[in-house]
């Protein structure tokens, strides 16, 4: 789950408004928090720590998707494919996996 989706889910679960979140985060106004929730901006390290404290979760819970999406071992195409895969429904993901498996080269014996 992306950091913006995680933040939206946590804010809803905790009953926190954008203003509540902005108040809990140093140097973050309502506009900045809105941009985080929309995925237009990413919070900085100190802000992630403050967000984690505000929501009562470890910072790693907010960053796991971001860390995996920035994996330097993956090519740009792999990042794009993974993002596209994650945007699909369960049935579509299954169908895409079947197509990908069918494209795997056969090993000569």
The number of distinct structural domains making up the chain is: 2
- Whether 91 and 63 map to the same domain: the answer is no
- Whether 84 and 58 map to the same domain: the answer is no
Asked if the model's pLDDT at residue 95 lies above 90, the reply is yes
Whole domain around residue 15: which residue ranges?
3-68
Interior/surface letters 27-51, b for 16+ CB within 10 angstroms, e for the rest: ebeeebbebbbeeeeebeeebbebb
pLDDT at 73: 67
Q: Is the pTM of this model over 0.75?
A: no
Q: Please write the tens of the pLDDT for every residue from 23-40.
A: 999 888 999 999 999 989
- Whether 96 and 43 map to the same domain: the answer is no
- Whether 7 and 60 map to the same domain: the answer is yes
State the residue for tokens 């494209």: 103
On whether residue 108 sits in a domain, the answer given is no
Asked if the model's pLDDT at residue 76 lies above 60, the reply is yes
Residues whose CB is less than 8 angstroms from the CB of residue 97 and which lie 6 or more positions away in sequence, other chains included: none
- Whether 59 and 29 map to the same domain: the answer is yes
Which range (22-31, 43-52, 57-66, 82-91) has the least confidence?
57-66
On whether residue 109 sits in a domain, the answer given is no
């Amino acid at each position: 789950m992306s950091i913006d989706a995680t933040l939206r889910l946590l804010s809803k679960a905790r009953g926190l408004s954008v203003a509540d979140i902005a108040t809990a985060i140093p140097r973050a106004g309502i506009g900045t928090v809105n941009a985080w929730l929309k995925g237009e901006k990413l919070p900085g390290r100190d802000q992630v720590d403050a967000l984690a404290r505000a929501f009562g979760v470890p910072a790693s819970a907010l960053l796991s998707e971001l860390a995996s999406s920035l994996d330097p071992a993956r090519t740009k195409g792999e990042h794009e494919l993974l993002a596209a895969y994650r945007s699909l429904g369960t049935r579509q993901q299954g169908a895409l996996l079947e197509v990908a498996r069918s494209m795997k080269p056969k090993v000569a014996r």
